Structure 1
Amino acid sequence: MHVWLIHTCSILSLPLQGIKEESNKEKSITSNAVMQENGDLQYKKFGLGECSFPNYKVVILCLGVLNAVLFIAAVVLAVNCAKVKHGLPQDSHSAALQLISELDDLRSNHSDVITAEAEAKSALDGAIKNYTRLKENIEKQKIINDGYQRQIAGLRAEKQSLQSNVSALEGSCGRCQSGWVPFSSSCYLFSYTESTTLNKNWLESRVDCKRRGSDLIVIDNKEEQRFVSSTIDNMRAGRDIWQQGFWIGLSDTDSEGTWVWINNVTEVEQRYWMDGEPNEWGRHGEDCGVAVYSDHNPWKTRFDDNCLRSEKKWICEMRAN
């Protein structure tokens, strides 16, 4: 655009030069016409045709006006061309400054993006570490919770057992005489509670129970067996189980080897006898049953002894009121 305007200004300056040359040519012709008049010649031709003197002045005037207009137009165009020449670098400089500013903004935004990316990556790494720690804590808590669940199950079983015992005690509470121990639907007297030194043989012990309105104990089930064994354990005065036994209502006096309870029920369960018992040891034999507590096996808690020659403590049983 800049080159085109300069080229246009150069073209427009050509008519001014042509007008100046035409003016000089007209002056030369006028001089020749004057010279011819002095020689009595009449001027007939001016330019390309005939022209009178008054018309020549009008033409000169018009050409002068046209010359002035063209000069003014040339000046205006020159001024505009100058403005264009000076304006183009300023506009280019402004555009360049704007581009540089936008480039700086892009660089700043790019730096912000990189910083934000680094911060996001750091936050992600922290979140992953927290997730890993949380997962480990959950596994640990799960193990601890499993242990608690097992403890709860054990406590519930123990609670149920205690509730059963409480129900049994409540059922027999107030229905047993003083000094007698309630269990299930019966009352029990351990002679140890009345005297720690008094012992009797099997027959004398049974007489004492009958005098109290009861008889020697008959163990009917494993719960009663556990009750008797644990109670004896709390009454032991020494570690010699052979000297810490209690007479029970079991004997084979009627038929050797056939053990019968005092209620005429034959004992068929063999697991409660201690190893090697009953053995009918000695010349006088052993026909009466004894209950003890065993540290080695809480179920093997019986042996046989001589009914008349051996003296021990005893256990009486009676139905609760």
Structure 2
Amino acid sequence: MADSIANVQDTIARPGEEGIRARLRRYRELRLTEEELATVLLTPVLLFLLGLSFYPILDTVWASLHTGYVIELPGQQRAFVGLENYRQILLPIGETRFWNAFGVSMFYTFVSVPAELVFGLGLALLLQKEFTYKYVAQAAILFPWALPTVINAKVWAWMLHPDYGVISDILVRLGLLAEPYAFLSKPDIALYTMTGITIWKTTSFMALILLAGLSSIPDQLYEAARIDGASRWRQFRDITLPLLKPTLLVALIFRTLPAFQAFGLPFGLTGGGPGEATATLVLYAQQAAYNNPGPTNGGFATGSAAATLITLIALVIALVYVTTLYEPEVR
């Protein structure tokens, strides 16, 4: 009887209030509190993130404050230069490739993401309806998003080629063009073309996220609104949009940050050209780090500084979304 009471006390005792021997006995019997179980389950994930995510970020920031080789070779030393790499990137404004890449990334992001949101919401509203082969349609629209980015870029580069591309050929046959047009070789049109391609590719991803949010809204709310005589627009404005805000926040963050950090599409489609018309920030950082290392590999330090700036800008964008769209009271 005494042993049973002791076991019960050991089970319900708080970790800070029980003795070491009782706690060790619980561990041997795999009787853990909720806090201890959470710690055991989360520790491997945290160690994984520390090793593969946080450490490279910290190492990149450290490299951005130095010049020299990543690994000190014989006869080479890393020199601490403070914010000198950042100064070379940011100043003077308007005379560096960084600011051109910043403008390209901002245009690419804040034109493509709103368009994807509008088209994706329209698709989600259509796919929410009941019709024949509904689930086949839901699976079909995911094909553009599921296609690997580099493969998608190469396919579009072939289709848009002025000599053997199918798109120019179709437009010429329809009489919309007098001759084949080099969509990716014109500085004034290449960025628009790249933006249109990413809208085509990722609208389905946006639709999938929004469809999940629409499915969580109770049908009873719409039935009550119809009984009260609310029009479809009133139902959409007063029910759908307010209850969809948490999903919109997730969708915008999930799409804005990858769009702002785009690399695969401009790299595979145009390589940043013609000139620097489609060179995004991440493409600029990659080229600065590896294409022009210099005698002491100073390019890697410049690329590290650019990557750090990209991370900070992405964090600011995410904070803006959270502060403007996050509403704890919305369920």
TM-score, normalised via structure 1 length:
0.29
Query: Which structure: larger Rg?
Result: 1
More helix, by proportion:
2
More strand, by proportion:
1
TM-score, normalised via structure 2 length:
0.28
